[in-house]
Amino acid sequence: MSNLAPGKSVDGSPRGIERYYRLHARIYDATRWSFLFGRRNLSACIAANRQPRRILEVGCGTGTNLRALCRHFPDAEIIGVDLSADMLGVARKNLQHMTRPPKLVQRAYNESLQDNDPFDLVVFSYALSMFNPGWEHAIEIARHDLAANGIIAVVDFHHSRFPWFRNWMGVNHVRMDAHLLPLLEQHFTAEQCQVNAAYGGLWHWFRFIGTPRQDPRKNLATNSPYGETVPQP
Ligand SMILES: C[S@@+](CC[C@H](N)C(=O)[O-])C[C@H]1O[C@@H](n2cnc3c(N)ncnc32)[C@H](O)[C@@H]1O
C-alpha cells in the first residue's frame, strides 16, 4: 500500500481539488497527454459495439473525452460533471465549436445525476483515482446511474511498485494502490479489462469496460478473468 494516502497527507476534499486545479487547469492540456494513457481511442472502442443515447462523463476536466464522445455519438445527450470551475472553464472553450456541445455541470459526484432517466454510458477517465475519499461511493452511484444494459468505461492509474512515485502522485491527489479494479469487478461484469505498463513499468494503468452485475459480487479473486493478471502491490 502507498505510504502516503491522499486525504491524510494532502487535502483531498473537493476544496483541495478545486484549489489544485486553479493552477493546473491552465497547463493541463499541454502536459497531461504525456502520461494519461488510454484516453485516445476509448470512445472509438465503445462505438465499435454500442450507440449510447445518454452519456455521462464524471470528472470530465477540460473536455478531452467529451469532444471524442461528441464525435462518435453525435445524436447522444452528453453531460460532463466536474467539481472544478477552472477545469470546466477550459472545457467550455474547448467545446464551443461543437455543433451540439455537451451540458457541463459543476459539482462533486457524490450523489446520483439521473432523475428516472438512467445513462447508457458512464465514463471515468483518470478521475476515480482522485476521489480520495469517495471512490467507493462514486462507483456505487455510477452503478445506480446506469441503465441495466448500460456500460461503464474507466481508464485510470492502477499501481506503481515504486513508493517514491506513489508518494509523488499522492502529492498530486492521485492514489495508486491497485484499489479500483477489484471494486469495479464486484459491481460490473467486464467486457474488457486490460492492465498496461507505462514508461517501462514505472507505473501501470488500466482500462475497464463493463456492464452492471445484477447481483454485485463480494471477495473476488485478484486475478482478472480476462487472461491478464492484475499486478498486486
Ligand atoms: C485528472 S483529471 C481528468 C480529466 C479528464 N477526465 C481527462 O481524462 O482528461 C480529474 C478530474 O476529476 C475532477 N474531480 C476530482 N474529484 C471529483 C469529484 N469528487 N467529483 C467530480 N469531479 C471530480 C477534477 O476536478 C479533475 O477535473
Is 30 within the bounds of a domain?
yes
The pLDDT, as a whole number, for residue 69 is 98
**Cβ of 82 below 6 Å from ligand 1:** yes
> Alpha-carbon distance 232 to 200, whole Å?
17
Ligand 1 pocket check for 113: Cβ under 6 Å: no
| 99, HSE (Cβ side, Cα atoms, 13 Å) | 10
In a domain, 217, yes or no: no
Query: Given this model, what pLDDT does residue 6 score?
Result: 44
Total domains in the fold of the chain:
1
The CB of 36 under 6 Å from ligand 1? The reply is yes
Residue whose cell numbers read 454500442: 50
Spell out the residues 6+ positions from residue 110 whose beta carbon is closer than 8 angstroms to its own.
134, 137, 138, 141
Expressed as residue numbers, the domain containing 49 is 14-212
Q: Is residue 9 part of a domain?
A: no
According to the model, what pLDDT value does residue 5 have?
A: 44
Nearest CA to ligand 1 atom 13: 59
**pTM: predicted TM-score of the whole model, two decimal places:** 0.90
Q: Judge if the beta carbon of residue 108 lies within 6 A of ligand 1.
A: yes
- Ligand 1 near 124 CB (within 6 A): no
Grid cell digits, residue 220: 473476488
Q: How far apart are CA 189 and CA 169, in angstroms?
A: 29
Residue 21 lies in a domain: yes
Task: Confirm whether 163 is domain-assigned.
Answer: yes
What are residue 10's DSSP bridge partners? none
Cα of 59 from ligand 1 centre, angstroms: 3
Task: Answer yes or no: is 184 within a domain.
Answer: yes
Look at residue 101 and tell me if it is in a domain: yes
Q: What does the pLDDT look like over 128-179, one tens digit per residue? A: 999 999 999 999 999 999 999 999 999 999 999 999 999 999 999 999 999 9
Q: Given CA atoms 221, 226, 227, 231 in this order, what sign does their dihedral have?
A: negative
pLDDT in tens, 16-66: 899 999 999 999 999 998 889 999 999 999 999 999 999 999 999 999 999
Is residue 63 in a domain?
Answer: yes
Reported as a single tens digit per residue, the pLDDT across 201-214 is: 999 999 999 999 98
* CATH code, 38: 3.40.50.150
